[in-house]
Amino acid sequence: MNKTARRLVASCTVITLAICLCISLVSVSGAGLSLLRKSGIPLTSDNEPAETAEEELPSATERITNPSESTPEPTEEVGRSTGTFQAATATIETSLPQSILHQMDEIQEQVVDLRGLSPRRPVDRELLTPEQLRQRVIDDFINDYSEEEASEDVIFLAAFGLIDPEFDLLNLYIELYSEQIAGFYDDEAEKMYVVQGEDFRGTERLTYAHEYVHALQDQHFDLDEGLNYNDEACEVDAEKCAAVLALIEGDATFSEIAWLSEHATMQDLRDIQQFYVFDSAPAFLQEDFVFPYLYGQSFVEYFHSQGGWPAVNEVYENPPVSTEQIIHPEKYPDEKPLPVILSDFSPSLGEGWLEVDGGVMGEWYTYLTLAHGLDPSARLSESSAQTAAAGWGGDAYKIYYHFQEESTVMVLQTIWDTNEDAREFYAAFREYGEARFGPATSTSTEQVSWDNPDSYAEFHIEEGVTIWLLAPDKAIAQKVMETMY
């Protein structure tokens, strides 16, 4: 993924998306139930039958969309803190009611017991209104993401067929990050923020459990310097940044699933069920938002099953470096991305062309391109896309844009683990290309192209390497290919 867009996703540890909440619903319903059963975690709390909880919660594929405008009144009391954590939360904003502080203390104690990391210093806590949160998002986050950067991201995403060229990405992020948040941990301020509507209920309690794991991670592993998880590092290596994010969020998600099943009340489950998920985002973006949580949780579970939390903690000493390692934890830590270096195509393109982006797609975005593009008719099945992307070994892409002509040139070169993997992707891409660009105008065992009035696409394969070229016309494409060879 491009550096700027990856930086947006990377901010989840500071500003928690709605997906941080709703992944727990996914995890205790549908596909997530198998994970809980496999790990031996009980599926319900308060001694309710497992079948009851499974029936009440939506399936993983439903993308919960405001099933009810009403919120049930609480029917169960929430236990009070034992007082164990007073020393760990000594500095507290007076805006928090005592009833909420008691719940927070109790949740912290429960999370520490489940995760096995003890607090090393106090964590300040503050209550925010939804209006205060929205302004904070605009002030602290959106102001760092300019309209120009958003425009460049749209160019990148449109080139790979993931978004409409006219899509208002900036406004989407403003709405998503400011309206679908129930709380967050700020690693710079080392502070927990709780967003309160009418009460501190299921969504807020679940979010607090998730975000307190981030506070513990920060205290033990140092998210910024220890894991090198910051804006500067993500600019340099977005693929590694995505992998580290998956470790961080997967850990917190695995822990919150345990909290949900061990300590959440049935009223918590009912409250969470009412939470509204922002589902107007493009298909690929909805999938990308859940990647750190779903795949990250599976990654963490893989090591937890081998040696418990000590095995997970060891991963922090040598964080994953690619989405490939997150998707296939058995490839961690040995299988690292192979470096790919692309030429500068500016001289061959001529005046007016500017390089607007470049970086690494990774296995995850290779899969997303094939399976979750803008045009539903051009999407491969998830299984076909997963199989095609699974042999990924390394890649590099560059994108050039002519602002006066509103034209794009994109080059993606990918190295595959084997020649067979490259052939497999070649076959899958031909199917994808036929659906996206129409009937091929030229085809062979080594190359296929689509020459249309408004665009030209070309795909090459040779000895474990594939090259995808997108240009306004064939003449410009030939200039680029001459530079590559």
| 354 membership: H or E segment, kind and range | strand 353-359
Give 13's pLDDT tier (boundaries 50, 70, 90): very low
Amino acid at 356: V
d(CA 316, CA 307): 14
**195-226 residue pLDDT tens:** 765 578 888 888 899 999 999 999 999 999 99
d(CA 237, CA 241): 6
Reply yes or no on whether the pLDDT at 7 is more than 80. no
Neighbours of 473 (CB within 10 A): 14
Residues 6+ apart with CB under 8 A from 411: 342, 345, 397, 398, 467, 468, 469, 470, 480, 484
Amino acid at 266: M
Amino acid at 104: M
| 106 membership: H or E segment, kind and range | helix 98-115
Reply yes or no on whether the pLDDT at 111 is more than 50. yes
Q: In what order do the strands lie in the sheet with 183-186?
A: 124-128, 191-195, 183-186
Q: pTM score > 0.85 for this model?
A: no
| Residue pointed to by tokens 């978004």 | 163
pLDDT for the residue 136: 79
| 116 membership: H or E segment, kind and range | none
pLDDT for the residue 189: 87
Helices (H), 318-373: 323-327, 346-349, 362-371
DSSP state of 282: -
Strands 191-195 and 183-186, by their bridges, are antiparallel
Residues in the chain: 485
CATH code assigned to 346-484: 3.40.1000.70
d(CA 458, CA 469): 5
Phi, psi values for residue 410, rounded to 5°: -130, 135
Neighbours of 24 (CB within 10 A): 28
Would you kindly state where each structural domain of the chain is located, as residue ranges?
3-68+79-325, 346-484
Give 270's pLDDT tier (boundaries 50, 70, 90): confident
For the chain, counts of helices (H) and of strands (E): 19, 10
> What do you get for the CA distance between the two ends of the chain, in Å?
25
pLDDT for the residue 61: 27
Q: Per-residue pLDDT averaged across 391-411, rounded?
A: 97
